[in-house]
């Protein structure tokens, strides 16, 4: 409601520290009404699963760090890297299908794998949540054991249907858009 309030100031500081996320600030009643947003609220719109998260700014203890943490915990990207911070947003996603690329980010092939994985993610936006799991994070070893994978079998794709825990795994030497697409389509059928 007040563009010069301390809450708006914290919002602007958070926006400056997360340049890859588009921010907007509005006090227009028409805009708030159009999006169904309450005044003094930070609303995060997630295009990947067409969902949103709200942070009430009326609390006195909301500062720049809490806004940044709220965004980092709840944002989902075309490909979301799984780690202890993003786990919250991944688990709360409205998408029931998760596709995990379990790989080594230190590999010289990582950049090209990610380019192809992102291209495949575009094809399933709004249907499947694409997740990157880096095996170099100790906390991700549980993910590998859940899918009964060893490091020698990586990289691998693992698809998981949240409601009934149905899953499938595909180990592969290299990632291609076609292989990802075929794997997803086969599981969807």
Residue ranges of the chain with pLDDT lower than 50? none
Q: Helix (H, G, I), strand (E, B), or coil: what is residue 182?
A: helix
| Residue count of the chain | 189
Superfamily grouping for domain 80-188: Glutaredoxin (3.40.30.10)
Q: What is the pLDDT of residue 46?
A: 85
pLDDT of residue 101: 97
- Which architecture does CATH list for 6-74? 3-Layer(aba) Sandwich (3.40)
What is the residue extent of each domain of the chain?
A: 6-74, 80-188
Same fold, 6-74 and 80-188: yes
Strand runs labelled E in 23-140: 41-46, 51-56, 79-81, 97-103, 128-134
The crossing angle, in degrees rounded to 10, of helices 64-74 and 6-17 is: 50
Q: Around Cβ 103, how many Cβ atoms within 10 Å?
A: 23
Mean pLDDT of the chain: 91
């Amino acid at each position: 409601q007040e563009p010069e309030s301390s809450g708006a100031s914290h919002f602007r500081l958070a926006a400056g520290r997360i340049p890859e996320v588009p921010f907007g600030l509005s006090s227009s009643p028409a805009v708030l009404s159009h999006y169904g947003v309450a005044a003094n609220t930070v609303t995060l719109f997630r295009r990947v699963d067409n969902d949103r998260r709200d942070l009430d700014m009326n609390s006195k203890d909301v500062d720049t760090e809490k806004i940044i943490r709220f965004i980092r915990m709840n944002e989902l990207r075309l490909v979301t890297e799984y780690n202890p911070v993003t786990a919250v947003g991944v688990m709360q996603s409205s998408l029931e299908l998760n596709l995990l690329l379990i790989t080594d980010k230190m590999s010289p092939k990582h950049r090209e794998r990610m380019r192809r994985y992102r291209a495949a993610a575009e094809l399933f936006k709004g249907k499947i949540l694409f997740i990157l799991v880096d095996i170099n994070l100790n906390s991700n070893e549980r993910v590998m054991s859940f899918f009964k994978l060893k490091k020698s079998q990586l990289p691998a794709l693992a698809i998981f249907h949240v409601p009934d825990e149905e899953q499938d795994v595909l180990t592969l030497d290299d990632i291609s858009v076609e292989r990802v697409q075929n794997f997803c389509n086969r599981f969807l059928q």
